[in-house]
């Protein structure tokens, strides 16, 4: 796991009470550690954070993956999606008056000390989670991955530069099409003719020798296809660029293999309206002349994501989720849980004697989005309807694909998956 050996790994060893501040003017006292360091790449006035050195405190798993209140539905939506129950409870308790500040996070000046502490901690926790090296900038932006479809070529290449797109689903295809406005993208592989059920091996790819970057979508939300290994750009000066919207922070990632990682928050790490960009700093500062200022990474990096008013409440929510993921033990532990949940559903599908079918090749099945169909397709509407009655909602597949789709992001409790599988078996018994 990248985090375990990163220079930021100390941040993993946090006190579970560290966020329970009563007074925002005493931030530095809230981190009960023994040595002092500053948050990397911190905005404006860095706030000192005290770290634990080498002792390992007891980290309790307080994540909502273990709890589920009776009044909650199991929400299998593809995003916006289920959030950790304890994170929602914390946001609820702080909404009206954030930690004695006398105001809501939604009312705070983005340049005030309260919000600066929020965004700096969110960044520090994300760096700890993913083991993000110091030569990478972390940006909190707006506009979703779709805005990044334009921002990537506008920032990383010139209009005549060749770049490669490996398209394994609808989102990669959208990224490819948008790039055509701003550079000369080459489609080096597409899974479209096989209905986006596969990912090619590196050997199958014919990369452009001088491609400025190779773009992939790490997990295709609609088609349920996920990279398990990442291709390496053949051009030594090329960069791997990944849209990780729907599997961001769902597993460990070696960030150093990427030039740019970007992700909409609304799958695994927060509400919609926040887009996170992780970019190697040497790629910043070469935007094309016609780049709108809000799509220029340099502007945002120089201003620590505070050039304009950022989506403050969304960033706060992401911070609460990052804290929760750290308290679960980091992404290595999160990944284990996600594998277990996905295995349970895929096994149920594969052991159904064809009653349920997942079209995706087994080796690249997504841990996040499980698309499946019924052999008797006329029963699919009934399946969705009956599941909803049992408080399992948003199981209808994407309109472009049909069938069903169970999105089981980090915050989906194991109990939700178990309930779904029990329902699938019961449904099969009644309709086989």
DSSP string, 132-177: --TTEEEEEESSHHHHHHHHHHHHHS-TT-EEEEEE-SHHHHHHHH
As given in the structure block, the two tokens for residue 306 are: 């505070």
Give least dist CB 266 to a copy of itself, A. 6
* Closer residue to a copy of itself (CB): 176 or 189: 176
Question: Is 384 among the residues that bind a copy of itself (CB under 8 A)?
Answer: no
Q: Which listed residue (391, 419, 421, 425) binds a copy of itself by CB under 8 A? A: 391
Please state, in angstroms and rounded to a whole number, the distance separating the CA atoms of residues 18 and 51: 11
Catalytic residue among 98, 164, 189, 267: 267
Of the listed pieces 28-36, 49-57, 146-154, 330-338, which binds a copy of itself according to CB under 8 A? 146-154
d(CA 273, CA 295): 15
**Minimum CB distance to a copy of itself, residue 170 (Å):** 12
> Cα dihedral sign for 120, 121, 127, 130?
negative
Per residue, what are the HEC states of 260-329?
EEEEECCCCCCCCCCEEEEEEHHHCCCCCCCCCHHHCHHHHHHCCCCCCCCCHHHHHHHHHHHHHHHHCC
Under the criterion CB under 8 A, does residue 91 sit at the interface with a copy of itself? Answer: yes
Single residue of 6, 101, 208, 338 touching a copy of itself by CB under 8 A? 101
| Minimum distance from residue 279 beta carbon to a copy of itself (Å) | 18
| Whether the bond into 80 is cis, omega within 30 of 0 | yes
Tell me: does residue 402 bind a copy of itself (CB under 8 A): no
Contact between 4 and a copy of itself by CB under 8 A: the answer reads: no
**Residues 137 and 296: beta-carbon distance below 8 Å:** no
Residue 98 appears among annotated catalytic residues = no
Residue 319 interacts with a copy of itself (CB under 8 A): yes or no: no
Is position 340 annotated as part of the catalytic site?
no
Count of CB atoms situated within 10 Å of the CB of 423? 18
Eight-class DSSP state of 237: T
Cα gap 227→5, rounded to integer Å: 23
Indicate if 376 belongs to the active site. no
> Using the rule CB under 8 A, is 393 a contact of a copy of itself?
yes
Under rule CB under 8 A, residue 371 binds a copy of itself: no
Report the residue number, 225 or 412, with the smaller CB distance to a copy of itself: 412
Nearer to a copy of itself, 313 or 383 (CB): 313
Is residue 220 a contact point for a copy of itself (CB under 8 A)?
A: no
Catalog residues that contact a copy of itself under the rule CB under 8 A. Answer: 71-73, 75, 77-83, 88-89, 91-92, 95-97, 101-104, 106-110, 112, 142-147, 149-151, 154, 178, 181-182, 264, 266, 270-274, 289-295, 307-314, 317, 391, 393-394
């Amino acid at each position: 796991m990248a985090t375990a050996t990163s220079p930021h790994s100390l941040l993993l060893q946090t006190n579970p009470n560290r966020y329970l501040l009563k007074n925002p003017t005493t931030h530095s006292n809230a981190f009960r550690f023994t040595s002092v360091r500053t948050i990397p790449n911190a905005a404006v006035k860095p706030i000192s954070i005290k770290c634990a050195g080498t002792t390992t405190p007891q980290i309790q798993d307080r994540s909502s993956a273990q709890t589920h209140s009776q009044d909650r539905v199991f929400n299998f939506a593809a995003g916006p999606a289920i959030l950790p129950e304890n994170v929602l409870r914390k946001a609820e308790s702080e909404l009206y008056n954030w930690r004695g500040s006398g105001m809501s996070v939604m009312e705070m000046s983005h340049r005030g000390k309260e919000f600066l502490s929020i965004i700096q901690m969110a960044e520090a926790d994300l760096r700890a989670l993913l083991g993000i090296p110091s030569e990478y900038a972390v940006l909190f932006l707006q506009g979703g991955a779709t805005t990044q479809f334009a921002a990537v070529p506008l920032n990383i290449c010139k209009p005549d530069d060749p770049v490669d797109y490996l398209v394994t689903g609808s989102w990669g295809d959208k990224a490819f099409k948008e790039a055509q406005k701003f550079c000369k993208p080459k489609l080096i592989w597409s899974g479209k003719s096989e209905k986006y059920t596969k990912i090619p091996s590196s050997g199958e790819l014919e990369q452009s020798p001088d491609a400025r970057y190779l773009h992939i979508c790490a997990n295709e939300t609609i088609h349920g296809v996920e990279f398990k290994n990442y291709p390496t750009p053949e051009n030594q000066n090329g960069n791997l660029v990944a849209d990780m919207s729907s599997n961001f922070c769902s597993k460990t990632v070696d960030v150093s293999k990427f030039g740019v990682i970007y992700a909409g928050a609304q799958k695994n790490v927060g509400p919609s309206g926040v887009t996170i960009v992780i970019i190697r700093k040497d790629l910043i500062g070469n935007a094309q002349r016609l780049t709108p200022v809000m799509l220029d990474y340099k502007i945002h990096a120089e201003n620590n994501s505070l050039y304009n008013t950022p989506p403050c409440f969304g960033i706060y929510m992401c911070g609460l989720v990052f804290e929760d993921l750290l308290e679960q033990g980091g992404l290595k532990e999160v990944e284990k849980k996600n594998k277990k949940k996905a295995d349970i559903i895929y096994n149920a599908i594969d052991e159904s004697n064809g009653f349920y079918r997942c079209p995706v090749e087994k080796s690249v099945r997504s841990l996040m989005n499980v698309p499946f169909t019924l052999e008797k397709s006329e029963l699919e509407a009934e399946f969705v309807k009956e599941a909803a009655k049992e408080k399992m909602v948003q199981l209808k597949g994407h309109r472009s694909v049909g069938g069903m789709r169970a999105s089981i992001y980090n915050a989906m409790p194991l109990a939700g998956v178990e309930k779904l599988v029990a329902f699938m078996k019961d449904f099969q018994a009644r309709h086989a």
